[in-house]
Amino acid sequence: MDRTEVTVSRFDAFLKATGRTTTAEREGGGFEWGAGWERRPGWTFRAPSGKPARPDDPVAHVSWFEARDFCAWAGGSLPSREQWSLAAYTERRAQPPAPFQRGKTYPYPTGDTPAGANLSGAADGYERHAPAGALPAGVNGLHDMAGNVWEWLADAQGEDRLTAGGSWWYGPSQTQAAGMQFKPARFFAVYVGFRCAYPLEPGPR
C-alpha cells in the first residue's frame, strides 16, 4: 500500500507519460459542495482549491477511472475494501512503535482516537488538505488514511464506487469503517483522491 496518498507530482508524471488530461481539466473545473454540487472553474488537481498545488499535495479532482488507470500504470491497483480496511485499522507490523500494538484492530486509522487526522475542526494548521505525509503516521505506518482526502476503492455498486477514510471536510465518524461512502465513478471533487495497493514481492523481505 502506498504510505501516502498519491501526490500531484506522481499523478502529473502519469499524465505526461500517457499523454492524458483529466476530465476536470477538459470540462473546466471540478466540484465543491455549496448549494448542491457546484463546478469551480479552474479547480483541477493542479489547483485543487483555486490556488496552485504543491508537488507533495494529495491529488484531487480525479475520477475513479483516472485513479484506476494511474494505479495500473504504477504497477498496482486500487485497493479493495478488505485490503484498505486491514491496512487502515489492524496493526500488522512485527514491532510497531508505541502506542501501536501488533494484532490490535483500532476504531480509527490513527489508532484509538482520531487525533492526528486532518478533519473538519481539527487544530492541525490546515484549513483544507495537508501535504501528503505532513501529519503523523497512523496504523501500519501509513499517513492520512483518516481524513485529508477521501480515497477511491475498487468496490463497485452499480455505477458507483466506494470511498474510504473521510476528508478535511468531514468529522471523525467518516474515518471509521462504517463511514465509507459510495460515490459516482465519474465524479471528481475537491476532496476525493486515492492511493494504490501493490502485489507482495516474492522471496525474503
For residue 24, the domain's CATH number is: 3.90.1580.10
Evaluate if residue 202 carries a pLDDT over 70. Answer: no
Helix 8-18 / helix 64-73 crossing angle, nearest 10 deg: 80
Alpha-carbon distance of 79 to 67, in angstroms, equals 11
Residue 204 lies in a domain: no
Residue 83 lies in a domain: yes
Alpha-carbon distance of 162 to 94, in angstroms, equals 30
Residue 73 lies in a domain: yes
Overall number of domains in the chain: 1
Burial 7-24 (b: 16+ CB within 10 A, else e): bbebbeebbeeeeeebbb
45: left (phi over 0), alpha (psi -120 to 50) or beta: alpha
pLDDT mean over 155-168:
98
Residue among 8, 15, 153 nearest 77 (CA) = 153
Residue 199 lies in a domain: no
What pLDDT is attached to residue 123? Answer: 78
Alpha helices in the chain (DSSP H): 8-18, 23-27, 64-73, 81-89
Residue 22 lies in a domain: yes
Residue 128 lies in a domain: yes
Which letter does DSSP use for residue 78 in this model? Answer: P
Residue among 149, 161, 189 nearest 65 (CA) = 161
Residue 1 lies in a domain: no
Residue 48 lies in a domain: yes
Evaluate if residue 80 carries a pLDDT over 70. Answer: yes
Task: Indicate the pTM of the whole model.
Answer: 0.94
109-146: per-residue pLDDT in tens? 999 999 999 999 887 778 899 999 999 999 999 999 99
Domain that holds residue 94: 8-193
